[in-house]
Structure 1
Amino acid sequence: MQNLYTTFLLFLISTSTLYAQNGQLTGQVVNAAGQPVSFASVAVKKTKAGTIANEKGEFILKNIAKGKHTILVTMVGYESASQEIEIIDGHPTEVKIRLHETTNTLQEINVVGNIGITKVKPQTIQYASKDLISQNGGTAGDILKAMPSVAMGGSPNHNRDIRFRGLGNGYTQVLINGQPIGVSGNNRETVLDLIPANQIERIEILANPTADVVSAGVNGVVNIILKKGVPATKLYETIGRASFTADHQGGYNGGLSLNGRARNLTAGANFDRLYRIVENKSTGEILKLNNAGEKTEAQNQKKNENKKFTNNSAKGFLGYNTKGWDFYTEYLYGDQTEDKSKEERTTIFDATNKFKSGKFVLSPELRKVYFHSPSARITKNLGKHEFQLAYNYNKSGENKTQNQNEYALLETNEPVLNKTPKMQKVEDRISLNTHLPGLYWLSSIVKNTTLKVGYQGFYTTRTIARTTDAYDEKSNTWKPKDEGKNNFEANESVNAMYATFQWHTEKLKTNFGYRHEIADIRTKASSQTNYSNGHYSTALPSVHVQYFLSSKTYLASSVGRRIRRPGFNDLNPYVEIKSTTEQKVGNPDLRPERAWAYEMGVFTQIKDFNIGANLFLRDIRDLIQKNITEENGIFTEKQINLRGAKTSGIELVSAAKIGGWLNVNGNYSRFWSKISSDDINNGDQLKDQFAWTAKVLADFSLPSKINAQIISNWVGPKNTVQEGEGKVHFVDIGIQKTFGKNNALFLRATDIFDNLKKHKYTNTATQVSNTYEHTQGRIFSVGASVNF
């Protein structure tokens, strides 16, 4: 009996010791956007331990043996994920496991369209950068130009800023990781050719966002999601990626990223450098008319531009999570140096075509744009509640120096270079400082509902200083011209409170939102003694409804109110010289536009084919419109407020899988607009609106892990009473060979047929002009990327 007691006692001691060596694992399963994934399966490999995550994606595994283990997480509609963890004596281990949606899943009710590169959600389009092999070595602008309803601003083949649904850049808000950022040009547009494609995970366009998204952007929001490096899956791991691309013109793009994990701590950094050459040529004719419409003078123009861009961009991040707390901080930096040489030849003839005079102008220009953007956020998950506090700071600027040397031009089109030219030097210094605080509280107490309330702030100060020096030949010195008269300062503050309420059933999803903004805008020019003040209080309600007829068909509808505030250059009252015949002047009295946005769409999928259609309408009040006047041969552009306008359109998207080796995505969009005003603009369409876009993207899966892609892109014409542009068409091609662990070699051909030609015209009562512009295409690039 004593031996039996001794044996039993030893068994208890050994069992207690065994359990003392075991530990507990807690964690959460989230998707690529950081949102919880409900009811995922969680298992410890080579053991019997396993569980199912709750509605918040949270799970607990007890009595896990001490040591290193591999956790396997699976969920329908997502790629499985594994992660290495370590159990230590008496210490609970906490992890966050990220799942990525399966690229070929067609049955998931929230993502019904997912063929090839296009992912279609209700009134949302997503493109993943890894799928656009024809844009390897490019920029954010190169990715965007392939998306439905999009055309890019800037010279052809130089994609600076976005034109979405036929309208100018002021109608679309660009975000990076969900936040506005100081990657801006001299107005308010985002300089998209500064962001390398290597740093982008995906780009999504939200046509009519919910109330918790910034209100700016009458046409919608473009959200650029940056990569966080290659995700580490082991407890201690460092991995990275290197890439390099070079083209036959001497351009190149190289990047390096590193990402590491040590238990609950993650960190990473990347750096990219891009060098690109853009050559542009144009010819044009200007006819001056008298009151009877007869020609009084003719001007012939030839322009040659050569632009060399050098972009540097870098990012570093640090993250830590423990016990439901998630800490994340990030620093973004970028700069772009544009070295531009420009020459213009203008010959002037009288009504009988007799030579009168000519001028030859050389205008070298050096421009640098830069930005710094540190940010931090703290998120606390409380089960059915979540709280986040965030802060972003953006500091950006632009420094530009332009020299203008004007020579006489003979009838033979030869410049007179042996005489001192008229010389002028213009320097612009622009600085922008922006603070973006924010917080929200999210609660899911009641089944099938989510309430989110929050605050977003936007505080910015922008200063513009311009100095002009003219060369005095008599004294052989440079003398200030209008010094200090072109200084301008703008201060803008926006405070927004919002609330959204989501309710859903198996087939119905709704989102009711309300956002209220109070904005103050103060501007001051050097000629003013006081600031010009504007104060606006705006109510911005919204309703979004999605109804799923089946797992493959949905109807979506939304209505909301959006706003467009004037750009900084639009407010600046001073003259900006654009060319020898064009200038721009701002208007400090501009009021913001307000618009009601209406959307209705349908989407369905039949086996390996899908098709969708979307109708939209924007009812705009206090329309900001470009007005062009002409005096003494100079066209002056100025923004003014008109009564309003309506813009509308239809968007068609379709995709098909053919034979397991070909995916085809196609889209066509048609746009209309009509201005309401008391002047000549009444009944005209908006100045910057192009008529339509059409795109066809074909992806080929070939043997030996070779993929090819062809993108055909058409952008329709612009036609208004005063000005217009012709349509353009171009084709990009990419070929990629994958080897090893996602390593790749690739070839890219941009505008392979070299047909990026654009016709522009203006038409006033006293002047008619036609310009034909051509940017060199047929650019071939080769490159490679390696993961390590």
Structure 2
Amino acid sequence: MDFIYPLQFNMGKFLRILVTLFIFSATTSIAQETGKDQVSVIGKVIDKTTGNPVESATITVLIKQEQEGVGTENFSRISISDRDGKFSVAVIRATSAEIFITAVGFETLKKTLRISADATEVNAGDFLLGTEATNLAGVVVTARKPLMQMGVDRRIFNADAAITSKGGNAADLMKNIPSLSVDINGNVQLRNSTPQIFVDGRPTILTLEQIPAEDIEKVEVITNPSARYDAGSTGGIINIILKKNRKAGLNGVVSVGGGTPELFNSNLSLNYRKGSVNLFASGGYNRSGGIAEGEAKRQNKSDGIITDYFDQESERERQRKFKSLRFGMDYKFNDNNTISISQGFVDGRFNNIEDQNQRYLDQNKVLTQTGTRQSLEENFFKRSNTQLNFRRTYEKAEKEWTADITYNSGNNGGESSILNQFYTPDGQLSGTQNRVENYSTGNSQQFTIQTDYVNPLSEKSKLELGARSFHNYSKDKLDVFSVANDELTKLPLSNNYSFRQVINAIYTNYSNQLGKLKYQGGLRLEQSSFTGKLLDSAKSFGYDYPSKGNDMWNAVFPSLFLTYELKEGNDLQVNFSRRIRRPNFWQINPYVDISDPMNIRKGNPELEPEFTNSFELNYNRTYSTGNILVSTYFRNNTRDITNYSDTISNAELDKLNNASIDPNAILTTFINADRTNRTGLEIVWQQRVGNSFDFTPSFNAQYRDVKASVGGLNLSNTGFNWDFELMANYKINDPDKKLLNNFSFQVSGEYESPRVTPQGRNKEQYVVDFAVRKDFLKNKAGTLTFNINDVLNSRRFGNITDTENFYQDSYRRWSVRTFRLTFSYRFGNNDIEIFKRKQGGNDDNSG
């Protein structure tokens, strides 16, 4: 069955007007820049105290030109330094330029650069940034970090630029990042595929909603990772970088906010730096609530003929409470050796109260019975994260060795009660009341050890080597009981399991340059195993690659990147990588989830890993006021892991005796498709108009071709889908307007078209967020932010499933429109000495 869906845009007059406005403004701005001769300014930013490169420093190059009939006109270009502290800025040709370097925790540095008439590239040299030596109250930051720094291998999103997520969590932040979407369960997707989530470059057991947005400095998005990264990242990598202040002395930020429904957030971050020691700590509390609705309408069929109908409506009241604490220390032994240690804790409580109303109708749509289902769920979790990092640099520039150890642990538990009752069409009780109770406990541990070595062999060539070992252990117990006449009967739904996952890897990367062609080739070898056990039945399941030395190709993951500089500010790149997606525990655990009695889920122990061959062709264009990145991509997923739904069988129904499961319930599990091919085009455009307005639209179009079958049933499907995202910012910076000065406005919107699945399609969805921010007090130390998430109250996740046995149209919501007001205050004084001590009446402040 084929579903081809035409382009449809339903975001309404509001967003259409905004899109038209910014496209017109930007087109005019770009047209003014086209055709101007450019010169490239390169350089490197270095920490004057440590000698280490400064990543994510903001570089602003200002050009002044005499324009006939206009006078002097200013042109500026903003860029950000990379992880090696290097930067390259393409600017309009002139005889001189002023360069401003700003970075958090450092003094602002200014340099005037002379440019010869025939130069195509000018090396501005090294910029040595000294530690900020004035109180925070005396610091005025005039340059804003751009929303994103875009390159052909990754994109860096600056978290502070997304004011619509202020007071929220990492999932709220992800909604603002081009190419990313967040589903009903808080899971993020990159180009309609599931990426791997890292925190500070390491695996995490935290979910996105367990990470406060206030703790995030930036987010790195890598669409096609090289051999340096874990081969399990078939859908790309999202690396969340947490904040770590570098200001001298004692500095901090405190924020508190609240709103509706049931919103409250608070956070405190502190940092102390003196000499070779840097101490940091942060803690916060976040609470959210609200009532979300859901709906399902189904037609049950036999031989293609409708036999009866079923409708279901639900309301779920969700309450989430999270507490977090993180602290650590950086210590610099000498000019070449630094060690860092950090510890984090997260504690969460979440409650759900859900009411379902059900209606059963015959083939003539005559009501035959109704039903109600009430469920109460209370759960908790505790998470701990410990990291130890060592970094050694050498006299040779950019040569370094790092070794890291990460340990994650946690426990969880909870209980729930489900009550079912059926009624006759006239409202009389039908049958006896069914009650099911669940009790769960569990614990998990993750251990990662990793080492990386980088050695520049020459000015243009570089060798990278590394190794990684990841171990994941978990043990959980779920007891499910049917309650009748105050007696408990244990059901087969009970799930007592444990699993162990191990991934060992080594890799090498080599890069060099031939004229304008830069190339990087890499090879990664990974051995992986997964062993799961159902402790009550002694049943085992899992996988092992390569298995006893066989299937060695399943352990080999090559990558190749070729970049060619067409001209200054214009790069063309082609890349390839092979990766693996391993099924997670819930996808292969044969446990049956009956949270919804008409839509139950079960894992498949026979599920195998899928493999991805990914190709990309990227064109990156930079100019004085913006950047455009155009990507075409093709992904071939063999053994693609996908959902499969069917009416529950009599055998499965018998196993769920006394669990109040309807004979017409849909059972969803996971299968390996033969393959899924995705062909797509993505455009990300970052544009600044004047000094007050900027916007970032992104567009992704994809054609999906799925080939799959189950028991002779053909599930193959094809279809076209697309999505559009926009973030626009406007800031008033006019001292003459006392009341309106330092006001910032931000609007972001997203539209996703219908998307095919093997048995139907996901329905379209759209959302708009809005925020306004006011900086005030002396030197903008205070900030007040008001945001509305889901302005139109439209975010819902729907899907249509069409099979031989049933047709279902359903939607669910996980959150509702929220209103939030947050106040933040930045403070600091580098004169405070925590370790002050008296000796002979004098202060010893040596560091």
Residue number in structure 2 paired with 1:181: 204
Residue number in structure 2 paired with 1:559: 576
SS of 2:359 mapped into structure 1: strand
Residue among 249, 257, 260 paired with 2:272 = 260
Q: Is 2:313 the counterpart of 1:302?
A: yes
Give the Cα separation in 1 of the matches to 2:225 and 2:682: 17
Give the Cα separation in 1 of the matches to 2:126 and 2:372: 63
Residue number in structure 2 paired with 1:205: 221
SS of 2:172 mapped into structure 1: helix
Conservation of the 8 A alpha-carbon contact between 2:638 and 2:676: yes
Residue number in structure 2 paired with 1:408: 422
Q: 2:699 is aligned with what amino acid?
A: Y
Q: Is 2:528 the counterpart of 1:489?
A: no
Residue number in structure 2 paired with 1:602: 619
Q: 2:730 is aligned with what amino acid?
A: F
Residue number in structure 2 paired with 1:231: 246
Residue number in structure 2 paired with 1:612: 629
Q: Is 2:564 the counterpart of 1:547?
A: yes
Give the Cα separation in 2 of the matches to 1:277 and 1:195: 17
Per-residue deviation, residues 339-358 of structure 1 (Å, max 9, x unmatched): 10001111212223333222
Percent identity, aligned pairs only? 19
Q: Is 2:716 the counterpart of 1:683?
A: yes
Residue among 40, 48, 51 paired with 1:28 = 51
SS of 1:29 mapped into structure 2: coil
Give the Cα separation in 2 of the matches to 1:361 and 1:26: 65
1:410 Cα offset (Å): 4.8
1:135 Cα offset (Å): 1.4
CA 1:276–1:321 in 2, change beyond 3 Å: closer, same or farther? Answer: same
Residue among 791, 800, 804 paired with 1:752 = 791
Residue number in structure 2 paired with 1:652: 683
Residue among 121, 143, 155 paired with 2:173 = 143
Give the Cα separation in 2 of the matches to 1:349 and 1:622: 39
CA 1:141–1:77 in 2, change beyond 3 Å: closer, same or farther? Answer: farther
Residue number in structure 1 paired with 2:131: 83
Give the Cα separation in 2 of the matches to 1:139 and 1:648: 32
Q: 1:398 is aligned with what amino acid?
A: N
| Structure 1: stretches of 5+ with no match in the other structure | 1-24, 41-69, 86-100, 105-113, 184-190
Q: 2:353 is aligned with what amino acid?
A: S
Give the Cα separation in 2 of the matches to 1:759 and 1:452: 45
Equivalent positions of 1:180-579 (< 5 A) are 180-183=203-206, 191-228=207-244, 230-233=245-248, 237-291=249-303, 293-323=304-334, 324-384=336-396, 385-411=399-425, 421-473=433-485, 476-482=486-492, 486-504=495-513, 507-526=516-535, 528-529=537-538, 531-532=540-541, 534-537=543-546, 538-579=555-596
SS of 1:348 mapped into structure 2: strand
Give the Cα separation in 1 of the matches to 2:540 and 2:295: 43
Conservation of the 8 A alpha-carbon contact between 1:166 and 1:692: no
Conservation of the 8 A alpha-carbon contact between 1:721 and 1:763: no
1:294 Cα offset (Å): 2.9
SS of 1:638 mapped into structure 2: strand
Give the Cα separation in 2 of the matches to 1:124 and 1:77: 25
Between stretches 548-557 and 648-657, larger displacement belongs to: 548-557
Conservation of the 8 A alpha-carbon contact between 1:79 and 1:102: no
1:614 Cα offset (Å): 0.2
CA 1:510–1:360 in 2, change beyond 3 Å: closer, same or farther? Answer: same
1:73 Cα offset (Å): 6.3
1:174 Cα offset (Å): 0.5
Give the Cα separation in 2 of the matches to 1:103 and 1:468: 58
Equivalent positions of 1:768-783 (< 5 A) are 768-773=807-812, 777-783=816-822
Conservation of the 8 A alpha-carbon contact between 2:717 and 2:756: no
Between stretches 503-512 and 305-314, larger displacement belongs to: 503-512
Equivalent positions of 1:57-68 (< 5 A) are none
Give the Cα separation in 2 of the matches to 1:348 and 1:530: 38
Give the Cα separation in 1 of the matches to 2:142 and 2:226: 26
1:162 Cα offset (Å): 0.5
Give the Cα separation in 2 of the matches to 1:516 and 1:554: 30
Q: 1:702 is aligned with what amino acid?
A: I
Give the Cα separation in 2 of the matches to 1:143 and 1:507: 37
CA 1:253–1:509 in 2, change beyond 3 Å: closer, same or farther? Answer: farther
Residue number in structure 1 paired with 2:764: 727
Residue among 611, 621, 633 paired with 2:638 = 621
1:524 Cα offset (Å): 1.6
Give the Cα separation in 1 of the matches to 2:49 and 2:807: 72
CA 1:452–1:571 in 2, change beyond 3 Å: closer, same or farther? Answer: same
Give the Cα separation in 2 of the matches to 1:26 and 1:634: 66
SS of 2:767 mapped into structure 1: strand
CA 1:742–1:618 in 2, change beyond 3 Å: closer, same or farther? Answer: farther
Give the Cα separation in 2 of the matches to 1:655 and 1:355: 56
Give the Cα separation in 2 of the matches to 1:507 and 1:239: 45
Residue number in structure 2 paired with 1:16: none
1:519 Cα offset (Å): 1.2
Give the Cα separation in 2 of the matches to 1:657 and 1:477: 68
Give the Cα separation in 2 of the matches to 1:747 and 1:676: 47
Give the Cα separation in 1 of the matches to 2:142 and 2:608: 46
Give the Cα separation in 1 of the matches to 2:361 and 2:49: 82
Conservation of the 8 A alpha-carbon contact between 1:72 and 1:83: no
Q: Is 2:745 the counterpart of 1:708?
A: yes
Residue among 704, 722, 729 paired with 1:692 = 722
SS of 1:138 mapped into structure 2: coil
Give the Cα separation in 2 of the matches to 1:409 and 1:32: 65
CA 1:31–1:103 in 2, change beyond 3 Å: closer, same or farther? Answer: farther
CA 1:26–1:246 in 2, change beyond 3 Å: closer, same or farther? Answer: closer
CA 1:472–1:77 in 2, change beyond 3 Å: closer, same or farther? Answer: farther
Conservation of the 8 A alpha-carbon contact between 2:184 and 2:796: no
Aligned pair count reads 683
SS of 1:219 mapped into structure 2: coil
Residue number in structure 2 paired with 1:96: none
TM-score, normalisation: structure 1: 0.82
SS of 2:160 mapped into structure 1: helix
1:78 Cα offset (Å): 10
Per-residue deviation, residues 548-585 of structure 1 (Å, max 9, x unmatched): 33342111221111110011011111212130111111
CA 1:250–1:587 in 2, change beyond 3 Å: closer, same or farther? Answer: closer
Residue number in structure 2 paired with 1:164: 190
Residue number in structure 2 paired with 1:580: 597
SS of 2:226 mapped into structure 1: coil
SS of 1:27 mapped into structure 2: coil
SS of 2:495 mapped into structure 1: coil
Cα RMSD (Å): 2.8
Give the Cα separation in 1 of the matches to 2:235 and 2:241: 19
1:772 Cα offset (Å): 4.3
TM-score, normalisation: structure 2: 0.76
